[in-house]
Chain A
Amino acid sequence: MMKRETISTRQGIYIMSMFIIGSSVIIGVGGKAKNDVWLAIIIAILSSLVVSYIYSQILNSFPGIDFIDILKKLFGRFLGRIIGVVFVWFSFHLGSLVIRDFGEFIKTVGLPNTPNSIIMAFAAILATISVRSGIEMIGRACEVFFWLLISILFITVPFLLPKMEINNLRPFLYDGIKPVISGSFSLFSFPFAETVVFLFVLPYINKKEYYKVYSSAILISGSILIITSLRNIMVIGADTLSRNYFASYTVVSRIKVGDFFQRIESFVAIAFSFYAFAKINVCLYATSIGISKIFGFDDYRFLVTPVGLLMLNYSIISYENIMQLFDWAAKIWPYYALPFEVIIPFIIFIYIKVTKK
């Protein structure tokens, strides 16, 4: 039996923050809410704080034990495994979706003639390598990159100040509260409640402070999302924002200080892709560890390569083009993800409460 890997609570917070910021900083989020996105984000944060309480209660029922093992203990070996498969599928699907986002983003903004599959293959192979190095390595790397990337994200703000127009935020609630609610719903399912994947990861933190990790990560990344979306709206306005696939990228391309310091968006795009990379890592890790626990293997590492390649394949075959991808992500994903993110965890939570009494 190998020595069990552990990460610190702080590393857990950083990993989860990067996971949430992940692809949402590349793709504009909550587009339906237009210039009231910030309000939609706040609503989404509040609701995801509630849902993440359910997640952490599930983990708290048997602290320090793998999620799949918890399921086995709660529902017996057979049913527990079936439920486990559901969550493994979710993290697998999410991972392949993020790989696809990543590939489309780089292809569109940076390498138009390069085949999508090559870029995605690079990302998937690198994720495989890093997941094989273990969660400790991911934790240490996230601890560093979190601050690096946050500073890159915020360095853009002062340069964009002259281009900001506060009037772009007004009028407040022009179309009523409905689009805000619908925007916050899609924000809730992507990216906040996707943290359900961390049910696989969090048993590995060295102190059992699950809710602390969830709540602080959601608050940190939520405020970052609020700031970036406020910046985006103030710079280019809600109309242009909703037309662009990659909002932050478009916004950064407006930076122009003198003749020399301009067109830096490619550099910033690279910073963004680090976030997405962290998200791919977590999904791959969760999937492999889930599968290894379902089948009762001691080690997950030998599973990482096949799972990573499968994820890559699935991401290539599942969508034909960028329009389909974004249409699906915007319209179907929120409803598709709902059972995984809310309904099943809620049932498990109720079950725990009932049986434990």
Chain B
Amino acid sequence: MVKTIKLTLLSFIILLLTSCWNYKEIDKIAPAAGVSFDYDEKKNSYILTVEIVNLKNTSTGTELLPEYFTSEGKTILDAIRNMISVSGRKIYWSHAKVVFISEKIAKRGIIDVLDFIERDTEVRTDMKIVLVKGKKASEIFNTSNKLEKIVSYHVDEMLENSIYLSKYPKIELWDLINQIQFDISTAILPVAYIVEDNDRKIINISGSAIFKEAKMIAFLNDADTKNLLFLRNKVYGGILPLNNVLGTESSVSFEIYKSKTKVKPILIDNKILFKINLSVDVALKEVSGQIDFIEEKKLESLKNYAQEKIKNDILNTFYYVRDTYNLDVFGFSKLVKINYPQFWKNNIDRWESLFSNSELDIDIKLNIIGTSTTNKIIKVGK
């Protein structure tokens, strides 16, 4: 009995004296919301700006306020630890939502940034990556927004809601790493622009940046990006606006409910033909002008017109990317590997010439599944 008591006391003392190693008080941590990466060529150092969520207790509740800290370091971890000399508290990364990468780093290569982020256990691999166009990525934190004061959360919402827009991709860290790791290393990232609006700066995300072997080579505008997303089977919603339908004054908007793209590469005499099967469920959401497209016959012609339009747009984007950059940002190379592993093994070195000669064949099917709540257009009375 005495022995047991002695042992218990001893273990208590051992545990108590050595303290709790990972214990950290929840109000003592500084939760980061987002971080921006910049690069200074002259000093050859990384510049990090972290957005931290600060809590302010008010009489009506708590208010979330952002606070920014900037630090510099030879490597990224160096920069992060240097942050303590500015912020005082150790930054807690698990709740960070967005990583902003400057154009400069993107052009130099993003591997350094990705490696650090992925290796750390505190950082989540579902963080979203955004490229900031302009001189410095940290300028994104100078923008202001009334509804959501914390910029990173604001951008996070913009990216989450991209499914209703499909004009820029939503790329999470693991997805980006998967893209870069593939035999043919390509990647896309959404691009944030900082624009002036009535004396204040706001963020506008639109289009995408395309990467070759982890280095950025070009920007794509939002129309091209949408077509690219169609080819990558990443369209979940958005609007298909059509102007001057069938040569009339009328404009029509479709809302995309569901879109499914099936790509099948076909080998014909060492030439690759990508057969695309695109099926889109849409609803007629807006009709301007005085032509009633809801009538069955006209609806059919409208459908044909829209299909042709979408098809041409996609083809244009594909040939534009293929001819200008000769870069498979559509993820087709993976499909070739899966469908023709032997061919892929033998021809991986001459992929670029293969891709530059490849063709696209689109079979599009537009299903108009509804006309929203009304079945007639608004007639101008006479």
Contacts and interface: CB of A to CB of B under 8 A. Distances in A.
Interface in B300-341: 334-335, 337-339, 341
Interface stretch (A48-56, A110-118, A142-150, A280-288): A110-118
A237 interface: yes
Interface in A108-139: 108-115, 118
Given A108-B121, A109-B121, A115-B21, A171 B178 contact: no
B201 interface: no
A263 B124 contact: yes
A254 B181 CA distance: 18
A297 interface: no
A236 B174 contact: yes
A111 B181 CA distance: 29
Contact of A113 (B21, B182, B335): B21
A167 B263 CA distance: 12
A170 interface: yes
* Count class of interface residues, chain A: 20 to 34
- Chain B at the A interface: SS class: helix
A104 to B, nearest CB: 12
A262 B125 CA distance: 12
Given A113-B21, A114-B22, A174 B341 contact: yes
A259 B345 CA distance: 42
Given A236-B174, A240-B181, A113 B334 contact: no
Contact of A170 (B124, B338, B345): B338
A108 B121 CA distance: 7
Nearest to A173: B341
A254 B338 contact: no
Interface string B174-196: 10011001100000000000000
Contacts of A112: 22, 121
Contact of B338 (A114, A167, A253): A167
B363 interface: no
A240 B178 contact: yes
A206 to B, nearest CB: 35
B63 interface: no
Given A114-B22, A174-B341, A253 B124 contact: yes
Contacts of B112: none
16 contacts: A108-B121, A111-B21, A112-B22, A114-B21, A114-B22, A167-B335, A171-B341, A172-B341, A174-B337, A174-B341, A240-B174, A250-B125, A253-B125, A254-B125, A263-B94, A263-B124
Interface of A: 108-115, 118, 167, 170-172, 174, 236-237, 239-240, 250, 253-254, 256, 262-263
Interface of B: 18, 21-22, 94, 121, 124-126, 174, 177-178, 181-182, 334-335, 337-339, 341, 344-345
